[in-house]
Amino acid sequence: MTPKTKAQKPYHHGNLKDALLIAARGLLETEGHSNLSLRKCAEAVGVSATAPQNHFANKAALLTALAAQGYAELERYMRKGLDETARREARRQAAFLGYVDFARDNPALYELMFARDRVSSSDPDLMRNVGACFQILADVSKDFGKFEGAQTKVEAKQQMFAWSLVHGYAQLLTANRFKKDDMLGSSIIDIIPDLVARD
């Protein structure tokens, strides 16, 4: 009997899709999304180079699945520690702190989630998870800041303000831009001016 070649590796995984996503997540954190490939994931899992194509048609499909996972995790981060009776101020603080914690804990995944032309915006799992995160931001942005105009315009401005604040802070923090002594040790909650309406 001749030994099997690398391309003839037997399939041993009961759930290859999950195994590939776990491998991809590890490679993403060490090599970045630009250097990630289906071939490298196959090697990490121990299957043939063509095996991933049963679950991911191409690299974009794999990256989209990773991004969908990322938004699902982001939602959990933004709800961490809350119960059904939490007031909006508590929900806002949990959402902002969770958003920043997620970015800090998963920098490569966070970057991928907002990378242009890397993921498919038509993927239903991705869009569902993105929508769940945005619903949290829409909720916690209510009564946040003083804006004038029609109610729908005010709500849109509040949402843009809240998202810009938390996303910008997370981006700067993960890029290690807050280096001044007086900036160190401050959280996003510490830098919010007196704009939070007490409900």
Domain residue spans of the chain: 11-56, 58-191
Asked if the model's pLDDT at residue 8 lies above 60, the reply is no
- DSSP class of residue 187? -
Could you give the CA distance from residue 160 to residue 102 in angstroms, rounded to a whole number? 20
Take residue 129 and report the two structure tokens written for it: 């998870």
Residues 6+ apart with CB under 8 A from 148: 154
pLDDT at 3 over 70: no
Residue 2 pLDDT exceeds 90: no
Residues in the chain: 199
Whole-angstrom Cα distance, residue 155 to residue 122?
26
Report pLDDT for 13: 53
| Interval 190-198 mean pLDDT | 69
Mean pLDDT, rounded, for 79-89: 93
Any alpha helices (H) in the chain, and if so which ranges? 16-31, 38-45, 59-79, 88-105, 107-113, 124-140, 151-174
The reported pTM is: 0.87
Q: Which CATH superfamily includes the segment(s) 58-191?
A: Tetracycline Repressor, domain 2 (1.10.357.10)
Closest CA to 141 of 76, 78, 54, 80: 78
What's the start-to-end Cα distance of the chain, in Å? 75
Classify residue 119 by burial, with Cβ atoms within 10 Å: 0-12, 13-18, 19+. Answer: buried
Average model confidence (pLDDT) for the chain? Answer: 90
| One CATH from 1.20.120, 3.40.50, 1.10.10, 1.10.357 for 11-56 | 1.10.10
Q: What is the pLDDT of residue 12?
A: 53
Structure-token match 């830098």, residue found:
191
pLDDT at 197: 47
